Amino acid sequence: MAARQDLYQHPDYYLMDEMLSDEHKLIREATREWVKRDVSPIIEEYAQRAEFPKQLVKGLAEVGAFGPYIPTEYGGAGLDQISYGLMMMEIERGDSGVRSTCSVQSSLVMYPIYAYGSEEQRRKYLPKLASGEMLGSFGLTEPNFGSNPGGMVTNIKDMGDHYLLNGAKMWISNAPFCDIAVVWAKNEAGRIHGVIVERGMEGFTTPETHNKWSLRASATGELVFDNVKVPKENLLPNKSGLGAPLGCLDSARYGIAWGALGAAMDCYDTALRYSKERVQFDRPIGGFQLQQKKLAEMITEITKAQLLTLRLGQLKNEGRATTAQISMAKRNNVNMALEIAREARQMLGGMGITGDYPIMRHMMNLESVVTYEGTHDIHLLITGMDVTGLSAFK
């Protein structure tokens, strides 16, 4: 397969760049250049082969995509939340699977170790995770508990000098090659705790999940624990209960809201360019009203989402973004991106289904993004609960 030429130009209909700092723009450009150079030429082939491009790990670490907002003393980039968002936007513009790896590493592994971990745990793991020397995974979902993680059956038993961990997690991004896993398990009293499980611990296995039509360039698997002896110092000491994993999800969902925007902008940009070049009935298809309707609606939705997401970033920087606000942005942006991918795919006619263009890959990827980190329906129920004060999901 010939390497694809990446001609991406980002849409900025409402001159949103004027609302970004020079540092934000520099970070965005550096990430974009890296994506154009290292991701776009190879990603289609890896997705077709259903293989995670491991060689990207070094570059991701170098652009600061592992722990962008983790303080520099722990190896992070020490940036603000808008910088984190812009990075996720650019990386998902390349591929949702590559962005998933960053979300897991930053928000689901580094964040809990930073926010809930001991000083020893921070110093032991964070610098290696930031440099990509170590890759992590996050085990919350189980075969029988997806949208309702509080029902989990994975458990730890206090054995005096260690914990004994039993159970299984399913649908875990990065599982097949992770060096460590942040695993959520109930203790004897039914309280949820996070423990750090390391590859090589006896009884810990990570079988890969095959046959995915979506996120094919991201590895997914199970985490299986059969009487795994976890040292006591591997328990995250500073937060327990369901709120602990949900706090990580807030951070990851925030990044996904930005990321989905990137995928949508790539689909729009591709369809816009194609509509000016492809001639049918002696004129570019972009001159037909029906195609203009699609493009006009796409840029309207993208512009609305850009505004929503930047405002959320400002609130996040001030520590004021609520879980429900993040839910709204994740749900809106992923759904918007999925609809744009479907429309853009049609605009490319038969070419839209090929790997010569990124749209079909984005479309299939987004089918996972709309489901993981809280489904489209669950996020709607979170908004419903927030405005009424009444829970409709349990």
Q: Is 365 in the site for ligand FAD (CB under 6 A)?
A: no
Window contacting ligand FAD (CB under 6 A); options: 15-23, 31-39, 167-175, 224-232: 167-175
Bridge partners (DSSP) listed for residue 181: 137, 197
Smallest separation (angstroms) from ligand FAD to the CB of 178:
10
Number of residues that bind ligand FAD (CB under 6 A): 21
Residue 229's φ and ψ, nearest 5 degrees, are -85, 110
Amino acid at 160: G
Pick one of 138, 163, 225, 258: the residue that binds ligand FAD (CB under 6 A).
Answer: 138
* Residue of the chain from 247, 375, 383, 385 that contacts ligand FAD (CB under 6 A): 375
Determine which helix (DSSP H) or strand (DSSP E) holds 222, and give its type and residue range.
strand 220-231
The alpha helices in the chain, defined as continuous H runs, are 22-34, 40-49, 56-63, 81-94, 96-103, 111-116, 119-131, 243-277, 289-317, 323-347, 359-369, 376-388
215 interacts with ligand FAD by CB under 6 A: yes
d(CA 208, CA 325): 34
User: Nearest approach, Cβ of 201 to ligand FAD (angstroms)?
Assistant: 19
Q: Which is nearer to ligand FAD, 46 or 372 (CB)?
A: 372
Shortest distance (Å) from residue 303 CB to ligand FAD: 28
Instruction: Please identify the residue of the shown chain whose CB is closest to the bound ligand FAD.
Output: 146
Q: Is 33 a catalytic residue?
A: no
User: Is residue 147 a contact residue for ligand FAD (CB under 6 A)?
Assistant: yes
Cβ proximity to ligand FAD: between 317 and 371 the closer is 371
Rule CB under 6 A: say whether 104 interacts with ligand FAD. yes
Asked if 377 touches ligand FAD (CB under 6 A), the answer is: yes
Query: Do 338 and 363 touch, CB atoms closer than 8 A?
Result: yes
Query: Out of 40, 121, 141, 234, which residue is the one contacting ligand FAD (CB under 6 A)?
Result: 141
Nearer to ligand FAD, 323 or 371 (CB): 371
Question: Per DSSP, what are the bridge partners of residue 195?
Answer: 183, 235
Q: Which of 121, 130, 368, 382 binds ligand FAD (CB under 6 A)?
A: 368
Minimum distance from residue 377 beta carbon to ligand FAD (Å): 3
Output phi, psi for 168, to 5 deg. -155, 140
Rama region for 127: left / alpha / beta (φ>0; ψ in -120 to 50; rest):
alpha
Q: Residue 279, SS3?
A: strand
Selected from 171, 254, 268, 274, the binder of ligand FAD by CB under 6 A is 171
What is the nearest approach in angstroms of ligand FAD to the Cβ of residue 44? 18
Cβ distance to ligand FAD smaller for residue 39 or 104: 104
User: Residue 62 or residue 339: which is nearer to ligand FAD going by CB?
Assistant: 339
Q: First vs last Cα of the chain: how many Å apart?
A: 49
Q: Rounding to the nearest 10 degrees, give the CA dihedral for residues 245, 248, 250, 251.
A: 180
DSSP 169: E
**Alpha carbon distance 48, 261 (integer Å):** 23
CB neighbour class for 209 (10 Å; exposed up to 12, middle 13-18, buried from 19): middle
Active-site hit among 142, 222, 343, 373: 373
Site residues for ligand FAD per CB under 6 A:
104, 138-141, 146-147, 171-173, 215, 220, 368, 371-373, 375, 377-378, 381, 393
Active site residues: 373
